């Protein structure tokens, strides 16, 4: 099936029994400070604590019985890893997970809790890909890439599908971008449902490959990503970038300081746990990176998997 609105709708029907329909939160004080109406799609309340449950579940339950028999494999810093391990457990098959050695301990524990079989590797994109290729060769498992797999992209797009079912008159969607799986699914679904809507990607300036690539018109690989937003420490994928060029209206970068400030403010005001990657869209609002007066803005809070012993505002 081509990656389009129909694929996103089919993914939603497939995964609905296995995921949560997450709430949308609002706050008058945050609206007043921003000068617009903000609607937070809380994927931090999703199964495994992040939106990744959507794409991984769609991919696993799209496999034929023969494809699934040998299990599934992936490489991930944590959220996709846990999501794939959970989806594999639901289907009764093994999940082989390659994780960089600098992954947050809370995310490693999350993968282990779902029965994922972890192999650690050096914290580089090359090491992740090479180690995962070896694991796939040894096990015969089906590779479920964290963001370039179209089944994953379609599943991720179900978050904005739900958001626009509830709020069909949004003017802007702010979406984090790392590899671009969520962004691709979001842009495809949002533009099909509401062609006039603006889809804006947001990423840390310290991992700003998507912004540089978007401006240059071709992918500029990320060679170093010293950002607190660990879920966004990867280069945008090739198919994801193609969707970006076609459907995304702009890419904004935010500082590390603004991410931490946004994260803490969301904790304090909305009374919810949001991880740094999930706070990135609100960081763009706080930093005044886009005009918001009178706008109705949807923000995807992508996850809430945080190491509580290493919160960024606690001095150690």
Per-block average pLDDT, block size 10, for the chain (316 residues)? 92 98 98 96 96 98 96 91 96 96 84 95 89 96 96 98 98 97 98 98 95 96 86 92 97 97 97 96 95 93 89 78
- Residue 225's pLDDT is 78
Fold of 5-51+151-301: Rossmann fold (3.40.50)
**Strand partners for 73:** 96, 143
- Residue 314's pLDDT is 81
CATH 3.40.50.1100 occupies which residues in the chain?
A: 5-51+151-301, 53-148
- Residue 107's pLDDT is 81
- Residue 2's pLDDT is 82
Please choose, from the candidates 178, 231, 254, the residue with its C-alpha nearest in 3D space to the C-alpha of residue 49.
231
Q: What whole-number distance in Å separates Cα of residue 253 and Cα of residue 284? A: 7
pTM of the model: 0.94
Q: What SS3 class is residue 240?
A: helix
Please choose, from the candidates 236, 199, 188, 192, the residue with its C-alpha nearest in 3D space to the C-alpha of residue 214.
236
CATH no., domain 53-148: 3.40.50.1100
- Residue 187's pLDDT is 98
- Residue 176's pLDDT is 98
- Residue 19's pLDDT is 98
- Residue 316's pLDDT is 56
Token reading at 63: 């496999």
Residue-wise burial string across 261-282, b where 16 or more C-beta atoms lie within 10 A, e elsewhere: bbbebbbeebebbbbbbbbbbb
**CA angle in degrees (0–180, nearest 5) for 39-41-44:** 140
């Amino acid at each position: 099936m081509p990656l389009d609105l129909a694929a996103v709708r089919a993914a939603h029907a497939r995964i609905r029994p296995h995921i949560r329909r997450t709430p949308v939160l609002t706050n008058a004080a945050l609206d007043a400070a921003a000068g617009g109406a903000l609607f937070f799609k809380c994927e931090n309340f999703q199964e495994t604590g992040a939106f990744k449950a959507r794409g991984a579940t769609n991919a696993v339950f799209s496999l034929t019985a023969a494809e699934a028999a040998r299990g599934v494999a992936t490489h991930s810093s944590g959220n996709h890893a846990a999501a794939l391990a959970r989806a594999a457990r639901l289907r009764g098959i093994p999940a082989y997970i390659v994780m960089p050695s600098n992954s947050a301990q809370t995310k490693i524990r999350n993968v282990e809790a779902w029965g994922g079989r972890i192999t650690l590797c050096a914290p580089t994109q090359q090491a992740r890909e090479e180690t995962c290729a070896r694991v796939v060769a040894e096990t015969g498992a089906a590779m479920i890439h964290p963001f370039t797999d179209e089944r994953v992209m379609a599943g991720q797009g179900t978050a904005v599908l739900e958001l626009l079912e509830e709020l069909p008159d949004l003017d802007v969607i702010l979406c984090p971008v790392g590899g671009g799986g969520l962004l691709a699914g979001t842009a495809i679904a949002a533009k099909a449902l509401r062609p006039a809507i603006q889809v804006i990607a947001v990423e840390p300036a310290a991992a700003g490959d998507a912004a540089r690539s978007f401006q240059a018109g071709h992918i500029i690989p990320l060679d170093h990503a010293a950002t607190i937003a660990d879920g966004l420490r990867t280069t945008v994928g090739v198919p994801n970038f193609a969707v970006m060029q076609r459907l995304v209206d702009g890419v904004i970068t935010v500082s590390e300081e603004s991410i931490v400030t946004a994260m803490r403010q969301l904790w304090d005001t909305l009374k919810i746990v949001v991880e740094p990657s999930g706070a990135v869209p609100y960081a763009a609002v706080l930093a005044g990176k886009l005009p918001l007066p009178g706008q109705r803005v949807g923000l995807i809070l992508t996850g809430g998997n945080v190491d509580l012993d290493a919160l960024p505002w606690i001095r150690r």
